[in-house]
């Protein structure tokens, strides 16, 4: 293996240069104007797979953005087959004015690369391609059979990949799945995530009078959509952080005593979290520690709100419309479809008179727990431990990756969530970045992972 690691180290600069190319493509999946750029990004990924020697690279069209798929099964039937999953799409970049440098003009500062998608997920996908390239160049072949599935719709809930996985279960059959799209518990502390939350994301539209009104001439006689929306939002949670939607907690799997002990032993610091985000107090559901609330308890948050006059100065107006986007993070065994239905019923039931309220389900993801005792996890623990020279942590994360549950239920394959990001690298927010040490160490860990998976005693 040393020859592979040597090759990786020699190729560090050129790997970063190539990563910058990928990061300069604005593949914002939710933006209808970016469709061509998203496709250009798929093409870039496909070309890259070809250039690192993957046979049979395909760009597969869907009703939305394309899937990039490639496989190399030449390691043979005696070797395990790994499905690598990642995404090349990224989140929107607004507010643009808060970026130090433009989001698609990647720049390296302080050994970190700044760009939208740097950590989520282009940098983390690319480090696997770097690892596979080095393995093939050093040894002439790969130690495992590999299938690569890299999609362009993860950030919008994988609406087309989910049916694709179900339809092509045979093609995707594998012994395990590996994903690098999560965070490490802390710098220098490699982590395997064994639980991801799910998501239900909805939009509430409140419509009152047929036009904006003078608030003096009409205020007091006509319901104000913003006031109505505010009362709806306020009724979603109580002052202890409990969600008031009937039946919301019915299917929540409680943490076991052992899990609570394990999470407590991670050494999470509320003080560090407060200073990281610069707040005087933390807030969340009473009765749970913040590390429990972050990974293993459901939440409800308003993600955006719109209505009325928001320009400089004052305008006395009673607006016609108001809108809010609300998301709920879910935990096993909640289901996104069930929670969305309960949310819609509840919002309708608390809507005040005098306005029309419509609720639209935008997208979602089911939560997942992955097994912690599989050959792939053992290979990852060994690979991460050796690479970082530190014990590997097992954590649960608050984010969602929609298709991971399907790898379990449809492919019947255990997933390893082996991430190299850090939670304060500003994923989904301005100045997203990825630590280049973790990029390079991630590639080394991936080399070790694929190698140990093929030969656990190597």
* Residue 121 is a binding residue for Zn ion (CB under 5 A): yes
- Which residues lie below 8 Å from residue 242, measured CB to CB, with a gap of 6+? 285, 286
| Residue (318 or 401) nearer to ligand BES, CB | 401
| Residue (154 or 444) nearer to ligand BES, CB | 154
Helices marked H in 221-335:
225-234, 257-265, 270-277, 290-295
CA–CA separation, 50 and 9 (whole Å): 22
| Residue (87 or 321) nearer to ligand BES, CB | 87
CB of 318 to ligand BES, least distance (A): 35
CB of 407 to ligand BES, least distance (A): 15
| Residue (300 or 401) nearer to ligand BES, CB | 401
Q: Which does 400 bind (CB under 5 to 8 A by kind): ligand BES, Zn ion, none?
A: ligand BES
Q: Which does 365 bind (CB under 5 to 8 A by kind): ligand BES, Zn ion, none?
A: ligand BES
Q: Which does 116 bind (CB under 5 to 8 A by kind): ligand BES, Zn ion, none?
A: none
* Stretch in the footprint of Zn ion (CB under 5 A) among 115-123, 164-172, 283-291, 413-421: 115-123
CA–CA separation, 416 and 422 (whole Å): 17
Residue indicated by tokens 């040393």: 2
Residue indicated by tokens 């991460």: 384
| Residue (332 or 399) nearer to Zn ion, CB | 399
CA angle 123, 200, 224 (to 5 degrees): 120
For residues 138 and 10, is the Cβ–Cβ distance under 8 A? no
Q: Which does 402 bind (CB under 5 to 8 A by kind): Zn ion, ligand BES, none?
A: ligand BES
Number of shown-chain residues binding Zn ion (CB under 5 A): 3
For residues 100 and 135, is the Cβ–Cβ distance under 8 A? no
Structure tokens at 126: 């690319």
For residues 309 and 185, is the Cβ–Cβ distance under 8 A? no
* Residue 181 is a binding residue for Zn ion (CB under 5 A): yes
Q: How many residues does the chain have?
A: 458
User: By three-state DSSP, how is residue 21 classified?
Assistant: helix
**434 to each of 117, 183, 212, 364, 390, how far by Cα in Å?**
9, 11, 46, 26, 20
| Residue (22 or 134) nearer to ligand BES, CB | 22
* Residue 366 is a binding residue for Zn ion (CB under 5 A): no
CA–CA separation, 224 and 355 (whole Å): 8
Residue number with the smallest Cβ distance to ligand BES: 399
- Which residues lie below 8 Å from residue 397, measured CB to CB, with a gap of 6+? 182, 183, 193, 195, 196, 197, 294, 295, 417
* Stretch in the footprint of Zn ion (CB under 5 A) among 43-51, 90-98, 113-121, 221-229: 113-121
Q: Which does 89 bind (CB under 5 to 8 A by kind): ligand BES, Zn ion, none?
A: none
| Residue (30 or 358) nearer to Zn ion, CB | 30
* Stretch in the footprint of Zn ion (CB under 5 A) among 111-119, 120-128, 273-281, 302-310: 120-128
| Residue (154 or 259) nearer to ligand BES, CB | 154
Structure tokens at 392: 């590997």
CB of 322 to ligand BES, least distance (A): 24
Binding site for ligand BES (CB under 6 A): 120-121, 154-155, 157, 181-183, 196, 199, 363, 365, 397, 399-402
416 forms bridges with which residues in the sheet?
A: 178
CB of 52 to Zn ion, least distance (A): 22
Chain residues binding Zn ion by CB under 5 A are 120-121, 181
């Amino acid at each position: 293996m040393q020859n592979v690691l040597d090759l990786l180290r020699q190729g560090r600069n050129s790997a970063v240069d190539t990563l910058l190319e990928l990061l300069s493509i604005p593949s914002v999946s939710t933006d209808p104007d970016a469709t061509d750029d998203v496709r250009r990004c798929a093409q870039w990924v496909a070309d890259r797979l070809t250039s690192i020697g993957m046979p049979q690279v395909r760009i597969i069209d869907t009703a939305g953005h394309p899937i990039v798929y490639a496989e190399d099964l030449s390691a043979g039937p005696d070797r395990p087959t790994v499905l690598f999953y990642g995404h090349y799409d990224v989140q929107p970049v607004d507010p643009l004015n808060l970026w130090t440098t433009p989001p698609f003009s990647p720049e390296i500062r302080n050994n970190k690369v700044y760009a939208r998608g740097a950590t989520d997920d282009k940098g983390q996908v690319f480090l696997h391609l770097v690892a596979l390239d080095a393995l093939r160049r050093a040894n002439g072949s790969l130690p495992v059979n590999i299938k690569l599935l890299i999609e362009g719709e993860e950030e919008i809930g994988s609406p087309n990949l989910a049916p694709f996985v179900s339809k092509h279960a045979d093609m995707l059959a594998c012994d395990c799945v590996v994903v690098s799209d999560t965070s490490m518990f802390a710098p220098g502390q490699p982590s395997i995530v064994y639980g991801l939350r799910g998501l239900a994301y909805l939009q509430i539209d409140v419509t009152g009078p047929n036009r904006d009104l003078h608030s003096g001439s009409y205020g007091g006689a006509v319901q104000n959509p913003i006031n109505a929306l505010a009362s709806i939002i306020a009724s979603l949670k109580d002052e202890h952080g409990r969600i008031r939607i009937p039946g919301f907690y019915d299917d929540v799997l409680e943490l076991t005593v052992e899990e609570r002990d394990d999470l407590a032993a991670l050494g999470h610091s509320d003080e560090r979290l407060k200073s990281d985000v610069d707040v005087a107090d933390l807030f969340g559901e009473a009765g749970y520690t913040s590390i429990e609330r972050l990974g293993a308890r459901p939440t409800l948050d308003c993600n955006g709100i719109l209505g009325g006059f928001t320009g400089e100065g004052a305008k006395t107006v009673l607006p016609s419309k108001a809108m809010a986007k609300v998301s709920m993070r879910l935990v096993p065994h909640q289901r996104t479809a069930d929670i969305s239905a309960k949310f819609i019923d509840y919002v309708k039931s608390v809507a005040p008179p005098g306005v029309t309220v419509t609720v639209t389900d935008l997208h979602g993801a089911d939560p997942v727990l992955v097994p912690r005792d599989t050959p792939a996890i053992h290979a990852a623990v060994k690979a991460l431990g050796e690479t970082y020279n530190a014990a590997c942590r097992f954590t649960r994360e608050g984010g969602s990756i929609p298709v991971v549950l399907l790898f379990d239920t449809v492919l019947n394959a255990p997933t390893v969530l082996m991430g190299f990001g850090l939670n304060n690298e500003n994923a989904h927010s301005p100045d997203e970045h990825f630590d280049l040490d973790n990029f390079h160490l991630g590639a080394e860990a991936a080399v070790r992972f694929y190698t140990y998976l093929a030969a656990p005693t190597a």
